[in-house]
Amino acid sequence: MNIMRVLLIDESKEEETRFKNYFKSVSGIRFEVDWENNEKQALQHLLNDEYDLYLIEEDFNNRGIDLLRTARSQGVDKAIIILTEKESHALDLTAMSEGADDYISKEKLSEGGIERSIRYSYERYKSRMRIAQREARYKNLFEKSIDAIVIIDKSLNILEANLAMKKLFKPKDSSLKGKPIKSFFADQSVYEEFADKIFKQGLLKKFNVQLKSEDNQRLYCEITSSVLFNVEHEISGYQLIINDLTKERKTEQRIMRAEKLGMTGRIARSIAHEVRNPLTNINLAIDQLKEECKKDDSAEMYLDLIGRNSERINNLITELLDSAKPSALKIELNSLSKLIDESLELAGDRLQLKGVELFREKKEELTAPIDYNYLKTAILNIIINAIEAMPESNGRLKIREYSSLDEVHIEISDNGVGIDEETLKQLFDPFFTGKQKGMGLGLTSTQNIIQQHGGNIDVESEVGFGTTFTINIPKELNKDE
Give the separation between CA 350 and CA 125, rounded to whole angstroms: 74
pLDDT for residue 326: 56
For 210, other C-beta atoms within 10 Å of its C-beta total 17
Where residue 468 falls among pLDDT bands split at 50, 70, 90?
A: very high
State the alpha helices, DSSP H only, in 101-148. 111-144
- At residue 455, does pLDDT exceed 60? yes
Phi-psi region of 56 (alpha: psi -120 to 50; beta: other; left: phi over 0): beta
- Mean pLDDT, to the nearest integer, of 471-480? 76
pLDDT for residue 478: 60
Lowest mean pLDDT among 189-203, 311-325, 456-470: 311-325
Residues facing residue 84 across a β-bridge: 105
Amino acid occupying residue 332:
E
- At residue 440, does pLDDT exceed 70? no
- Mean pLDDT, to the nearest integer, of 96-118? 83
pLDDT for residue 116: 85
Give the separation between CA 237 and CA 470, rounded to whole angstroms: 38
pLDDT for residue 242: 92
- At residue 445, does pLDDT exceed 50? yes
Residues 6+ apart with CB under 8 A from 478: 454
pLDDT for residue 194: 92
Residues facing residue 160 across a β-bridge: 151
pLDDT for residue 166: 87
pLDDT for residue 399: 94
- Mean pLDDT, to the nearest integer, of 207-232? 86
- At residue 432, does pLDDT exceed 80? no
Q: Report CA-CA distances (Å) from 68 to 13, 19, 47, 56, 73.
A: 20, 20, 11, 8, 9
pLDDT for residue 309: 83
- At residue 438, does pLDDT exceed 60? no
pLDDT for residue 481: 47
Give the separation between CA 345 and CA 349, rounded to whole angstroms: 8
The per-residue pLDDT for range 17-69, each reduced to its tens digit, is 888 888 887 778 888 889 998 888 999 999 999 999 999 988 766 688 889 99
pLDDT for residue 281: 79
Average pLDDT, the chain: 84
Where residue 218 falls among pLDDT bands split at 50, 70, 90?
A: confident
The alpha carbon torsion through 248, 253, 254, 255 (nearest 10 deg) reads 90
- At residue 379, does pLDDT exceed 90? yes
- At residue 238, does pLDDT exceed 90? yes
The per-residue pLDDT for range 392-421, each reduced to its tens digit, is 878 999 999 998 878 899 999 999 989 888
